[in-house]
Structure 1
Amino acid sequence: MTSTDLLIIGGGINGTAIARDAAGRGLSVILCEKDDLARHTSSASTKLIHGGLRYLEYYEFRLVREALIEREVLLRSAPHIIRPMRFVLPYDQGQRPQWMLRLGLFLYDNLGGRELLPGTKTVNLHKAPHDQVLEPRLKTGFEYSDCWVEDARLVVLNAIDAANRGADIRVGTAVTALSPHKDGYRATLSDGATITARGIVNAAGPWVDEVLFKIKRDRNEAGLRLIKGSHIVTKRLFPGDHAYMFQNADNRIIFAIPYEGDYTLIGTTDVPWEAAPGPMDISPEEVDYLCKAASEYFAQDIHASDVVWSYAGVRPLYDDKSENASAVTRDYVLDIDEFSAAPDGVETTDEGRPVLSIYGGKITTSRKLAEHALQKLSPYYAEASGDWTSEAQLPGGDIPADDFEGFFTTQAARYPDVPADILRHLCRAYGTRITLILGQGPKTDLGLHFGAQLTEAEARYLCNHEWARRAEDILYRRTKQGLHLSAPEKQVFINWFNQLAEL
């Protein structure tokens, strides 16, 4: 039987961020993820590191301030997978008035102590690059800063850093039973292993109540509200590296974001979800909603036939009883329960060990959430060291002066035999860890080339170093090469991967 200080259930952004923080404080950590890292909610986001401009309307000032500060903390920690992006918010008569937009953007610029990102400016939408892209009625807009992130890679980088600091990351391993134990908690895993833990972090996202129910048989006071969010991907709709933020007649907003070079990402929806969580698809109604909402702003209408890919997931938000799904708080709640195994086996709440359940949260505040979680657990772990992640870089993020283009130029000279498009893809995805794929140079054997930028060398690295267990883990989470490969190319890769898995 294995013992650990902390058992973390859930391999999304919150679970992996907490594993990283805890391992860095000297605690022993086991993280169990029943599927793949970032398999569900954490790979179904809008791919933004942002303050959440619209949350100002709901007076979520603390959340917005924290998120604005975290933008630059995360940008410094991983400049290969996170990059600045300018967002254009067109003013449309009949929507939010200009004074409200200006006030909101003034607060947005100044609430978080911005240092790296440029501030807001007014733009003429009848000039390039916006002319003939947007509807002629749109004359003025406001351009502001946020950041873009490859969300699934952020999850994996947290897991890698946690593992490098001693955490035991177990992918494809479910916790099937959980009960109080004299030393804390006893967990039975799907692979038959049994472990004991002094404390539990329940970061199971949409399954947080299900995990808690394994220990206590009544409903938790903290409420979980599931909101489905879906996105569509089309061929690229506009030139430039900027994104658009559109206001809708229903008072919601959607984003249109450059994606994977050749595409535009549009989302998201906010639909209450009452069914069991799990893998899901966008509904025809959601496709129709996103196409119509974007068509209100783009000069050329978008139709369902233009959609080349889509994805959907549920966000496990804290239930603040808001009637409007879009108004439900994106803030997080950290809820601690204590249980003990009494001599006769009856559960008590006296002098127990912690079970910390995570409700809500967002990609942007994941590092801060983890820090708060460890602070809340500190009375139970007096030996743990203090906060450390705010100045630390994520694996591959130690790029000199955070200058990605300078880093890419250096790597191009180091690996002259690697095609430029493949090298840029590898630099963006892995930063300074590309030596684990390409070696020390200059001669590099990439092995089979499956199409687009996907090579055998990268795929083998992902299997050996990033817990990839299925072809889809590589095609749609560790990378997005599945978007770029043709159907025959994808099948060749799947066949190759399956043969590798059988060895």
Structure 2
Amino acid sequence: MNDHPRASPTASYDVLVVGGGINGAGIARDLAGRGLSVLLAEKDDLAAHTSSASTKLIHGGLRYLEYYEFGLVRKALAEREVLLRSAPHIMWPLRFVMPHDPAMRPAWMIRIGLFLYDHLARRELLPSSSGLNLRQHPAGAPLQSRFKQGFEYSDGWVDDARLVVLLAMDAAEHGARICTRCEVTQVQRTGDTGWQVNLRHRDGHIEPVQARAVVNATGPWASQFLRDSAQHKAVRSLRHVKGSHIVVPKMFDHPYAYIFQNADRRIIFAIPYERDFTLIGTTDIEYHGGLDAVRIDQDEISYLCEQASRYFQKPVREQDVVWSYSGVRPLLDAAEGTDASAVTRDYELELDTQAAPLMSVWGGKITTFRKLAEEAADRLCAALGAGHAAWTAHASLPGADLCKGLELPAGSAKDMPHALEMLVRQHPELPPALLQRWLRAYGSRLQTFLQAGDLGQQVAPGLFEAELHYLHQHEWARCADDVLWRRSKLGLHLTETERQQVASWCQQHWPTSGPN
């Protein structure tokens, strides 16, 4: 997927989607698949902010049951298996262990919650919850000896930033134009029939385009976009809540994740991450700062270390933190004084059709992005009198078709382990760990650079020029951070010198200006 050439000044689209996060990419994909002409504009990289700063979970939200969010939990639970089927290379089931601390919540309350979690929506792929003896279960070994009993349940894991990229790829393959590093500086209604839009590309060039409808999917910037770019008054308000995570050297060797209950009634997760690490998070803090460069606070690091250390035998120390990331969640505003962790993660779609349609997306979470996009596309198609029926519930994302895409015998790639086994046989010249990383990142699309034959120079350990060219040509990667921290997490595995080698290569080979 090469960059689209700069469109003519008279280019016209059915829908302009502003924002390249999970919701914007999901809406663009859904609309393009229904036959509408779509332009997605993102001022930074795809998933550059909130959508790459999640806990990486496809989950119903067990703790939301305490706040009686049954509708949201049911909707999210129903989506888990839809999503897991759509991209098994970047999403897979994950089993969670909750050590029981009687001082937090009584066992009967947890059992009722898990029963509801098992039965609020239909399950086919994921096993049900159960009690467990931590003295005999592998997940009990890293925990303090005072934890004797616990509970086990299922949810899913997702590479959040790669999910956004795959949605954008699918949108483009259905005809959408994807513009990254492209800011929408002004949108103005031209009566009842459309919008006049100015796009500022990364080289400073201003491109005027027209659209019949505009979608404001700018996440935390939603109110600001309406006010500053669209000169439109927002009827909803957002509550900005910062969530931060830390990454430490791995605390355990088994494949289970933990959910820990804290004395402040919040929870944190400890999740196996990138083979050699453990991901711990998240915080929920009211946030009023700038949105472009959100950072973890020292208090948040201390909080996460302290809470995790209440459970693990080996304390989590602040000096153990090798990486951290933070994002601002745009949550639907709640009553004054409501604790940040209790604010709903549900969403609302506001559609103004008094003139040319303008839709704003308020709130949301990764697990429900597909349903949000489907509802948004339904309403926009009705408003525009165009488009086909919903289609994404049974659709796969790029790379998901392992047998066909990898040219394996029919039925041989029943799952990722089988596919990896076949790849290792086909490519004995390549390290199995490298093939596994590629398979997990690209699925069957890894053939795009494998079939080239020559992987080129090894720019850093395990990172070849062929992969970098693929990321630039097909996934809109434009700098080292796009590669090392969003399209992959290779930044965690490389030294500072090696990361700089990648940055130097990108600066040398990729232009720093020019249109998408």
TM-score (norm 1): 0.95
| Counterpart for residue 239 of structure 1 | 253
Within the candidate set 343, 355, 359, 1:328 is matched to 343
Cα shift at 1:44: 0.2
Whether contact under 8 Å (1:122, 1:143) holds in the other structure is yes
Q: Does structure 2 retain, via aligned residues, the 8 Å contact 1:180–1:215?
A: no
3-state SS of paired residue (2:246): strand
Over 3 Å counting, the alpha-carbon distance change for 1:402 and 1:61 in structure 2 is: farther
Structure 1 unaligned regions, length at least 5: 339-348
SS of match in other structure, 1:134: coil
* CA-CA distance at 1:318 after TM superposition: 1.0
Match among 461, 476, 479 for residue 485 of structure 2: 476
Q: Contact 1:421 / 1:453 at 8 angstroms: preserved in 2?
A: no
Instruction: Quickly say closer, same or farther: Cα 1:253–1:98, change in 2 above 3 A.
Output: same
| Contact 1:178–1:214 (Cα < 8 Å) also in 2 | no
| CA distance in 2 between partners of 1:379 and 1:391 (Å) | 22
- Work out the number of aligned pairs and report it: 488
1:424 lines up with 2:436 in the alignment: yes
**Structure 1 residue 215 displacement after superposition:** 5.8
CA distance in 1, matches of 2:461, 2:128: 36
Q: What does 1:170-209 correspond to in 2, within 5 Å?
A: 170-182=179-191, 183-191=193-201, 192-209=206-223
Corresponding residue number in structure 1 for 2:4: none
Distance (whole Å) between structure 2 residues aligned to residue 244 and residue 502 of structure 1: 44
Give the aligned residue type for 1:354: P
Compute the displacement of 1:453 (Å).
2.8
* Amino acid of the structure 2 residue aligned with 1:335: E
Shift of 1:320: 2.4
Cα drift, residue 373 of structure 1: 0.6
* Letter matched to residue 134 of structure 1: L
Letter in 2 for 1:364: T
Q: How many Å apart are 1:62 and its aligned residue? A: 1.1
CA shift for structure 1 position 399: 2.7
Q: Deviations over 1:254-308 (max 9, x none)?
A: 0000000000000000000112311221100000000001001111111110100
Secondary structure in structure 1 of the residue aligned to 2:139: coil
Q: Aligned pair 1:248/2:262, yes or no?
A: yes
1:415 counterpart residue number: 427
Note if contact 2:268-2:282 (Cα within 8 Å) is conserved in structure 1: yes
| Aligned partner of residue 478 in structure 2, secondary structure | coil
> Residue type of the partner of 1:277?
L
* 1:262 match: 276
The percent identity for this pair of structures is: 52
- Structure 2 spans left out of the alignment, 5+ residues: 1-9, 404-412
- Verify: 1:277 aligned to 2:277, yes or no: no
Partner of 1:313: 327
Following superposition, the deviation at residue 381 of structure 1 comes to 2.4
Q: For the residues of structure 1 that align with 2:283 and 2:383, how far apart are their CA atoms?
A: 40
Residue 230 of structure 1 aligns to a residue whose secondary structure is strand
State the distance in 2 between where 1:176 and 1:221 align. 21
Distance (Å, rounded) in 2 between the aligned partners of 1:235 and 1:331: 33
User: How do residues 98-109 of structure 1 correspond to structure 2 at under 5 angstroms?
Assistant: 98-109=107-118
Q: CA deviation at 1:416?
A: 2.3
Per the TM alignment, residue 219 of structure 1 is displaced from its structure 2 partner at its CA by 4.1
Contact in 1 for aligned 2:186/2:230 (Cα 8 Å): no
Provide the residue aligned with 2:409 in structure 1: none
The answer as to 2:356 corresponding to 1:380 is no
Find the counterpart in structure 2 of residue 344 from structure 1. Answer: none
1:456 aligns with 2:497: no
Q: What does 1:210-225 align with in structure 2 at a 5 Å threshold?
A: 210-214=224-228, 217=231, 219-225=233-239
Give the aligned residue type for 2:22: I
Structure 1 residues 437-460: Cα deviation after superposition (integer angstroms, max 9, x where no partner): 2117xxx32222234432221111
Q: Map Cα deviations across residues 471-495 of structure 1 (whole Å, 9 max, x no partner).
A: 1000000000000001111111111
Partner amino acid, structure 2, of 1:258: P
1:186 partner amino acid: Q
* Distance in structure 1 (CA, Å) of the matches to 2:415 and 2:394: 17
Contact between 1:254 and 1:268, CA under 8 Å: does it hold in 2?
Answer: yes
Q: Which residue of 2 aligns with 1:447?
A: 456
Answer with 471-480 or 485-494: which moved more: 485-494
1:2 pairs, out of 4, 11, 14, with 11
Pairing 1:361-372 to 2, within 5 Å after superposition: 361-372=364-375
Distance of aligned partners of 1:451 and 1:501 in 2 relative to their CA distance in 1, 3 Å threshold: closer
Give the SS at the match of 2:51. Answer: helix
More divergent stretch after superposition (175-184 vs 139-148): 175-184
Displacement of 1:502: 4.5
Note the C-alpha offset of 1:419. 1.2
SS at match of 1:130: helix
| Contact 1:450–1:492 (8 Å) recurs in 2 | yes
What residue identity is the alignment partner of 2:211? A
Alignment equivalent of 1:337, drawn from 339, 352, 359: 352
Give the Cα separation in 2 of the matches to 1:373 and 1:417: 47
1:94 and 2:103 are equivalent in the alignment: yes
Alpha-carbon distance between aligned partners in 2 of 1:425 and 1:105, rounded to the nearest angstrom: 34
Partners in 2 of 1:219 and 1:302 — Cα distance? 46
Tell me the amino acid that sits aligned with residue 218 of structure 2. A
Q: Structure 2-normalised TM-score?
A: 0.92
What SS does the corresponding residue of 2:78 show, helix, strand or coil? helix
- 1:29 matched to 2:32? The reply is no
Deviations 1:198-251, CA, capped at 9 Å, x for gaps: 101100011111111146646422111110000000000011111000000000
